[in-house]
A = this chain, B = another copy of it.
Amino acid sequence: MRVLIADDHDLLRDTLDLWFRQEKIDVTPARDLPSAMLAVAGAEAFDLILLDYGMPGMNGLDGLKRALADGKGARVALMSGIAPRDVAEQALEMGAAGFLPKTLPAKSLVNAVRFMAMGEQYAPIDFMTATPEVTPVNPLAEKLSPREVQVLKGLCEGKANKEIARDLGIQEPTVKLHMKTLYRKIGAHNRTQAAMIAKEAGLF
């Protein structure tokens, strides 16, 4: 089995290399997305490509998309130590073979790699079922600045601009500004539409 590991953390890359070698898995390392794609282009197809979510060249899920497109049919999985749950979900929806938090024990990681190479989709249960209460980020919220999310939340509670301003400790004109910009970002024409869009997206 041939696996490509792309991660800008040398230590992690070397550790995985070691583990996989013990498991008789052939490893090709890379330290960023461009060199990873070069390695893919310049060798016969890999069984699995492991991409670090945060390494140079990834630019969020764009890198995943490119790897899926140019991966010569190889299965592509995402690794991350910090990415929230919805990133994992999006990745899986986009066709990723799996999502590996870096909190995973090395042994489980090897198992997961074998599992994914068999054509299955992998994601750790506890990570995926973790309540998004702590990280309520979703595809919609990603386009908004933190402040705009707060304002949108107040809006969804039916508050007036003035109330929202008071609750956030800022002035009303500022709230109105955030409103205007977040309308544009989510494609709403008025506050009610904005609230419905947020609700529809499962936000709040």
Contact = CB atoms under 8 A, between A and B. Distances in A.
Interface of A: 89, 92, 107-108, 111-112, 114-115, 118-126, 128-129, 131, 155-158, 160, 188-193, 195-196, 199, 202
Given A92-B125, A129-B89, A196-B199, A160 B190 contact: yes
Given A89-B129, A125-B121, A129-B89, A158 B108 contact: no
Interface centre among A112, A189, A193 (most CB of B within 10 A): A193
Nearest to A124: B121
Contacts of A158: 188-190, 192-193, 196
Nearest to A199: B199
9 contacts: A107-B119, A111-B115, A111-B119, A115-B120, A121-B124, A123-B125, A158-B192, A160-B190, A196-B199
